[in-house]
Amino acid sequence: MLCTGVRCAPGARERDGRADRDGGDDEAAGRAGPHAGEARAGAAQPRERERVHERGASFPGSAGSTYCLSVLARDTLDAPSAWTAETCTAVPLDERSLNRSRGWTAGTGSAYYRSTYLRSSTYGAKLTRTGVVARQIALVATTCRTCGKVRVYWGTTLLRTISLYSATTVNRKLLTVTTFTSTRTGTLSIKVYSSGRKVIIDGLAVRRN
């Protein structure tokens, strides 16, 4: 996660997604002028603001959490701009946080999100996460020429069938599943919808707002 132009406040407001933890997208950015900036989350208290003279800094977000960020800039006379509107982003959960049926093989590698993945070529093999609180859902997966398909369900309702085919191999690909009209709580399932073709799941991105 990167905040361009400011250092994200250590007191950033966190919106958890699985009754207390589930998250979604991987990066957020805020822009300020070329001079000093401040960052806040929500209605920040003074201790949650930090003056910086840098154009960018990293923010150590926790997997499965949603963060809403706002920034302002100060000129050379220390006059502040208005706070920007909040930009919300989420950090994906690792696939190891999902309950898995038979048919999945766990693997590791530096090319994957948090250096782990789950692989299957078994039709019907399933990954499940209960107690998910979400408004927007996406998968982190690998796409390739020999990759298969998955179906994503909310409870028993099919949300989307996703082809993982691509002409070249792409790891850590973020694939949007759906955006609900309002935040919902339920069980999310990912099922392999192909046979003999590999499916590699690398994470689950769930944004609460």
Tell me: do 133 and 97 sit in the same domain.
yes
Percent of residues in the chain assigned helix, strand, coil, to nearest 5: 5, 55, 45
- The answer to whether 139 and 152 are in contact (CB under 8 A) is yes
Tell me: do 104 and 73 sit in the same domain.
no
Tell me: do 47 and 85 sit in the same domain.
yes
Q: Which two tokens stand for residue 206?
A: 């769930």
Tell me: do 121 and 76 sit in the same domain.
no
Domains held by the chain: number:
2
Q: How many residues does the chain have?
A: 209
Tell me: do 54 and 37 sit in the same domain.
yes
Q: What is the pLDDT of residue 15?
A: 42
pLDDT tens for each residue of the chain, 209 residues long: 333 333 333 334 444 434 334 444 333 333 333 334 455 544 333 334 445 556 666 777 888 788 888 888 888 888 888 988 888 888 899 999 999 999 999 999 999 999 999 999 999 999 999 999 999 999 999 999 999 999 999 999 999 999 999 999 999 999 999 999 999 999 999 999 999 999 999 999 999 88
Domain that holds residue 6: 1-91
Of 55, 47, 50, the residue nearest 39 (C-alpha) = 50
Of 182, 198, 189, the residue nearest 133 (C-alpha) = 182
Domain final position from 48, 70, 91: 91
pTM above 0.75, yes or no: no
Tell me: do 197 and 102 sit in the same domain.
yes
Tell me: do 76 and 111 sit in the same domain.
no
Tell me: do 111 and 77 sit in the same domain.
no
Q: What is the pLDDT of residue 208?
A: 86
As a whole number of angstroms, the distance between CA 193 and CA 186 comes to 22
Domain final position from 91, 117, 146: 91
Tell me: do 85 and 101 sit in the same domain.
no
Tell me: do 72 and 116 sit in the same domain.
no
Domain final position from 59, 91, 123: 91
Of 89, 17, 78, the residue nearest 51 (C-alpha) = 78
Q: What is the pLDDT of residue 55?
A: 65
Tell me: do 113 and 178 sit in the same domain.
yes
Amino acid occupying residue 110 = S
Query: CATH number for the domain including 171?
Result: 2.60.120.260
